[in-house]
Structure 1
C-alpha cells in the first residue's frame, strides 16, 4: 500500500449537506476498493486563484489515504464524472 493525497474543489452552490455527501462518496470509493482513509481535512469555502468555468470560489477538501496503485485511477474516474467537482488532483507525496 502506498500513501496518497487528493485535494478536490466542489462547486460553491452546494450546501453543507451536499458537500458532506460528496466527501462521504469519495471516502466510500477509497474504502470500497481496498484503500484506507487516514485523514479528511475540510478547508471550507475559499476563493480560487483564478476563475474556472466562471466560478470564483469553491469548497476545498484534502483527503490523505493509503491504497494500492490501481485505486487512484478509479478515484480519478469518479472525480471526472461527478458534476459538482470543479478541480481535483491525486498525488503520491513520497515521490
Structure 2
C-alpha cells in the first residue's frame, strides 16, 4: 500500500449538489478499489491559472488516499471519462 494524492478540478457550471456527488463518486472509486481515503479537502471555486476550453474557473478538490499500485490507473480512467472533470493529477507521495 502506498500513499497518493490527487487534485481534480470540476466544471464551474455544476451546482453544489452535483459537485458533492462527483466528489463522493471519486471517493467511492478509491474505496471500492481497496483503497482508504485519508483526507478530502474541498477548496471551492477558484480562478484557473490559464483558460482551459474557454473556462476560467473551477471547483478544486484535494484527496489524500492510501491504495495499492493498480488503483491510480483506474482512478485516472474514471477522471478521463467524466465530463465534469476539467483537469486532474495523481501523485505518489514520498515516504
**Structure 1 length normalisation: TM-score?**
0.99
Distance 1:16 1:40 in 2: 16
Q: CA deviation at 1:93?
A: 1.6
Give the SS at the match of 2:57: strand
The answer for the alignment partner of 1:46 in structure 2 is 46
Q: Deviations over 1:1-20 (max 9, x none)?
A: 10000000000000110000
1:88 aligns with 2:81: no
Distance 1:4 1:94 in 2: 9
1:58 aligns with 2:71: no
Q: Deviations over 1:30-59 (max 9, x none)?
A: 000000000000000000000000000000
1:21 aligns with 2:21: yes
Distance 2:33 2:78 in 1: 12
Distance 2:17 2:63 in 1: 18
Task: Tell me how large the CA RMSD over aligned residues is.
Answer: 0.7
Task: Show structure 1 runs of 4+ deviating over 3 A.
Answer: none
